[in-house]
Structure formats: C-alpha cells, structure tokens
Structure 1
Amino acid sequence: MKYLLLVSHGDFSTGLRQELSMFAGDAIDSVIAVGLKPDESADKLGKRFEDMLENLKSDSQFIVLADIIGGSPLTTVCNVLSKKDLLEESLIIGGMNFSMALTALMSKDSEDTLNLRSKILAEAVEAIKPLEFNEHKSDDDDDI
C-alpha cells in the first residue's frame, strides 16, 4: 500500500492531515502525520515513527512531504525508512503545502513515481500566488 507521510516540526503535519480529511473521504486512512514535538529529541521521534511502521505491511511505499528538507524531523524519518529498507522506493519532497498534499493523496495510486513527482511539484508552484483585488470599479458596478 502507498501512504502519504507528512513530516514536520510541531503540529503542522497533524493539522494538514486534519485539513485533508475534509476533502479526502476514506483516502485519509492512507495519510500518516509525524511531527517533532517541542522539547522532543530526534531519537524519540525516530522511536515513535518506528512504532508506527510496525503496524504497516513490510512492502509499504511512502510519498513523503516535509516542511523543510534537511530538518531533523525529515532526516530522522529518512533514517528510519532507510533502516527498514523503505527509503529507496520513497518519493520525498520538501516545502509542503495543502495543494501539493491533496494532489499527492488523490494521485498516489494512479500515477507512477516520476509522473507523481512532476504533478506534485507543479501543483505546489501553481498554488502559490498573491490574492489580487480589483480596486477600480467598472461602469457596470454602479448599479449594484
């Protein structure tokens, strides 16, 4: 089974998982959120994550979205995945946002890894834009 693994500092990953649940229906069951808690060591996070993996099948695959590439939560998770021989088959992307997480969740079972990577990255970039307001009223707006 393919899982979407959200990794972050603090509760960002759990909050994102909760937000995804509003859109994803039963697909949310394939989303795992792991966050490094304040005052928690990376070793303790690693142990928590290893315990989570014990409940999954050994042939599980992971689409990993992380808040920061190179941060201790992602490094710790990657070390655990490597130790379990699951890292090589994982797709790992940093800088997660809601749009890319939703795209990853909804496409992970229908796309090959290369296409999924491209799709997730394209969605992440497309989702970032300023909200612009038209400050000038047109002549048609006078009647409103």
Structure 2
Amino acid sequence: MRYCILVSHGTFAPGLHNALGMMAGAGREDILSTSLLDGMDVDTFRENFTELVKGIAAEDEILLFADIIGGSPLTNAVSVLEEKGLLPHTVAMGGMSLPLVLGAAFADADTPLAQTAEEIMADARDQIKVFDLGGDTEDDI
C-alpha cells in the first residue's frame, strides 16, 4: 500500500487532512496526519507519530509531507521511519499544500514512488500563481 502522511506545526496537517477528505474521500486508511501542537514536547510528537505508523509494513511506500523542510515534525518523523526501517520506500517533501497532497491522493499507485513525487510537485507548482481578478486598473478592485 502507498501511504500519504501529513505532519506539521500547529493544526495545519490535521486541517489539511480534513480538507483533503472533502475532495478525496474521508476516512481513507492510506492518508494519515499528526502535528506538533503548541506546547507539545518532541517526545510526545514522536510517540504520536510512532503510533500513527505502527501498521505500515516494510514493503509499503510512504509519501511524507511536511509544512517546512528542517522543522521538528519532519525531522522527527524521518527519524521514527528510519528506526522502523521504513525509509527505503519513503519520499519526504516540504512545502505541503492542498494541491500537492491532493495530487498524491489521486496518484496511480503503480507509478514508481520517485516519479509520483516529481509529478505531483510539478503539478502543485503550477497551482501557485496570481489569480486574475479581471480588472484593468487598481480602481476596479
């Protein structure tokens, strides 16, 4: 199975998980999330993350999404995955967004993991743009 795991500071990951559920189906067992809440120590986050991934097997694949590269949620999630021997089939990405995780949720599980990561990142980048409001001057806004 291929899992999408969302981690973040604050409630970003669970909130994004909720929004993703509205579009890709709520209650999917292949989409998981947890977060490092304000005031939570890293050991508690690691315990929560360890519990979250306990059912993932060594042959499963993981797309791990985080709010920022180098943040405590991502670095600790990677550390737990390494301890469990799950890193060989994991791709970790920062800059988590709804277009990025939506692409992952609908990606073909038969496509190689690295290729999937490249494709969904390219698609998500294409979603970052200024929305044309249709006005010719600032006075029209």
Q: TM-score normalised to the size of structure 2?
A: 0.89
RMSD over aligned CA atoms reads 1.8
The answer for the alignment partner of 1:53 in structure 2 is 53
Distance 1:121 1:27, change over 3 A: farther
1:21 counterpart SS class: helix
The answer for the alignment partner of 1:75 in structure 2 is 75
The answer for the alignment partner of 1:133 in structure 2 is 133
The answer for the alignment partner of 1:94 in structure 2 is 94
Query: What is the alpha-carbon distance in structure 2 between the residues aligned to residue 27 and residue 52 of structure 1?
Result: 14
Report matched runs for 1:1-144 at 5 Å: 1-25=1-25, 28-107=28-107, 109-136=109-136
- Residue ranges of structure 1 left out of the alignment (5+ in a row): 137-144
Query: What is the alpha-carbon distance in structure 2 between the residues aligned to residue 120 and residue 133 of structure 1?
Result: 27
Query: What is the alpha-carbon distance in structure 2 between the residues aligned to residue 70 and residue 121 of structure 1?
Result: 18
The 4+ residue runs of structure 1 with deviation greater than 3 A are: 55-59
Distance apart, 1:79 and its partner CA: 0.3
2:93 counterpart SS class: strand
Q: Which moved further from structure 2: 52-61 or 125-134?
A: 52-61
Distance 1:32 1:19, change over 3 A: same
- Residue ranges of structure 2 left out of the alignment (5+ in a row): 137-141
Give a deviation string over 1:39-96, Cα, whole Å, max 9, x none.
1111110011112222344533210111000000000100000000001210111101
Distance apart, 1:28 and its partner CA: 2.8
Q: Give the total of aligned pairs.
A: 137
